[in-house]
């Protein structure tokens, strides 16, 4: 589990990112697709289903806008904010 969390935080999302990788890295990404009525069964479990293919399937062009939407949701929901501790006073 710890390894998945580390992977989740360092994941780079681009047009070649596979939907399966995204779901494995952060299970809450499934909500993203469901909320938009776009979680197609053709993508689930298929290794070669990328965000680019999903964008073309649903007509979400320009592609960069779609990727920014995915990145924004991923950052908001999946990445934990870094906690900065103040130096201890002794």
Query: Nearest to residue 78, comparing CAs of 8, 2, 1?
Result: 8
CA 50/CA 58 separation, integer angstroms: 13
Q: Do the Cβ atoms of 40 and 57 come closer than 8 Å?
A: yes
Confidence of residue 90 (pLDDT cuts 50, 70, 90): low
- Nearest-angstrom CA–CA distance, 39 and 16: 17
pTM exceeding the 0.95 threshold for the entire prediction: no
Tens-place pLDDT, residues 11-49: 789 999 988 888 888 888 888 888 888 765 556 556 678
Dihedral, 71, 74, 77, 79 alpha carbons, nearest 10: -100
Distances from the Cα of 85 to the Cαs of 2, 13, 77, in angstroms?
Answer: 22, 29, 22
Residue 1 has pLDDT above 60, yes or no: no
What counts of helices (H) and strands (E) characterise the chain? 5, 0
The answer, yes or no, to whether residue 58 has pLDDT greater than 60, is yes
Q: Mean pLDDT across the chain, nearest whole number?
A: 78
What whole-number percentage of the chain has pLDDT above 90? Answer: 22
More confident residue, 45 or 79: 79
Per-residue model confidence (pLDDT) at position 35: 87
């Amino acid at each position: 589990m710890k390894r998945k969390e580390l992977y989740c935080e360092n994941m780079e999302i681009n047009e070649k990112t596979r939907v399966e990788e995204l779901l494995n890295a952060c299970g809450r990404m499934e909500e993203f697709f469901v909320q938009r009525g776009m979680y197609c069964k053709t993508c689930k479990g298929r290794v070669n289903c990328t965000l680019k293919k999903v964008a073309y399937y649903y007509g979400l062009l320009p592609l960069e806008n779609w990727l920014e939407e995915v990145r924004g949701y991923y950052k908001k929901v999946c990445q934990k904010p870094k906690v900065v501790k103040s130096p201890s006073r002794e």
